[in-house]
Amino acid sequence: MSGSKVIWKSNRENLDSPGFYDAMSQWYETPLGHRLREVEMSLLERCLPRRFGYHLLQIGCANFPMYENSPVGHKFSITHNDNLAGHGIAARGEAIPLTSESVDVVLLHHALDYSFFQHQLLREVSRVLIAGGHIVIVGFNPLSSWGLRTRFPGEKVHPWNGRLLSTSRISDWLKLLDFQIEQIRYGAYTLPINSPAIIKYSSLLAPLASRLNWPTGGVCMISARKQALPLTPIQTSWREFANANVGMPIAENITRVSRDLRVASNEENS
């Protein structure tokens, strides 16, 4: 038990260090990382073009944007790294330095995988999103070969030292924050082995798996919408009755109808 705590502590210090983003950026330049980025961009192409607004915020794990296909006018990122490398703000995702309800779309690119305050990160995203805004989450799927790779014994190197969450767990957390799940997609059906030959041959069934949206993909994408609560009470419109019907006694109406029926009956008999 003590040994596992030491390993986890060292991983946490590594994640919080500025060099983590540089290391992840370098890993994405490897054959496996390059393939993963292509798959993630393909997943986002199905989602981001349909998310509109004025401001898009990305909280990611590397020093490159993933929002190139978004029609939102103002797109920016935040990172722990002091070397912004094209990002807009140097900050932590668990304490976003923005006012409440000021962003239309938030993209979490493996931010949950490498956050040690995952609940707080989602709460901060909910706070800065406008009512009706969208959150798009890209993360590793623990129920896949990529997820099993994180369970291998020994020293874990990037990107295998994250805290992976299942889509059901993330969906439950989002629902507690009043989000409505709109879409869940899976991708990256190749084996997590950094070899061009293995990547090629293990991806033969990827087109079919992608069309069927098999839940065994190495990465998953979740899109959800922040539900807007009505703030204006609904006023009841009262209908006005005609003056002739207001205050007319029921007994008088029954007596008048009975008298008219008797008169009509007598005239027929006569």
Q: Is the peptide bond before 159 cis (omega within 30 degrees of 0)?
A: yes
What does the pLDDT read at residue 152?
Answer: 74
pLDDT of residue 64 exceeding 70, the answer is yes
Identify whether 158 is part of a domain. Answer: yes
The number of folded domains in the chain is 1
> Residue 5's CB: how many other CB atoms inside 10 A?
9
Higher-confidence residue: 238 or 216?
216
pLDDT given for residue 6 in this prediction? 31
CA distance 187 to 57: 23
Q: What pLDDT is recorded for position 208? A: 94
> Which residue, among 190, 192, 230, 191, has the nearest Cα to 210 in the 3D structure?
190
| Residue 237, domain member (yes or no) | no
Residue 252 forms part of a structural domain: no
Residue 259 domain flag: no
Question: Which position has the higher pLDDT, 176 or 153?
Answer: 176
- 165 within domain boundaries: yes
pLDDT over 50 (residue 186) = yes
Please measure the distance between the N-terminal and C-terminal CA atoms of the chain and give it in whole angstroms.
Answer: 111
Which of 26, 93, 99, 98 minimizes the C-alpha distance to 59? 93
Q: What is the largest CA-CA distance in the chain?
A: 114
CATH number reported for the structural domain that contains residue 189 in this entry: 3.40.50.150
Q: Is residue 235 part of a domain?
A: no
**pLDDT band at 134; cut points 50, 70, 90:** very high
What per-residue confidence (pLDDT) applies to 156? 57
pLDDT of the residue at 46: 92
Q: Beta partners for 187?
A: 219
Segments forming the whole domain that contains residue 83: 2-226
Strand partners for 137: 108, 222
65 found inside a domain: yes
How far apart CA 106 and CA 179 sit, in angstroms, is 13
Considering the entire predicted model, what is its pTM? 0.78
Q: Are 215 and 189 in contact (CB under 8 A)?
A: no
Quick one: pLDDT band at residue 71, thresholds 50, 70, 90?
A: very high
pLDDT tens-digit map of 106-126 = 999 999 998 889 999 999 999
Rg (CA), the chain: 30
**Residue 241 counted as domain residue:** no
pLDDT of the residue at 76: 92
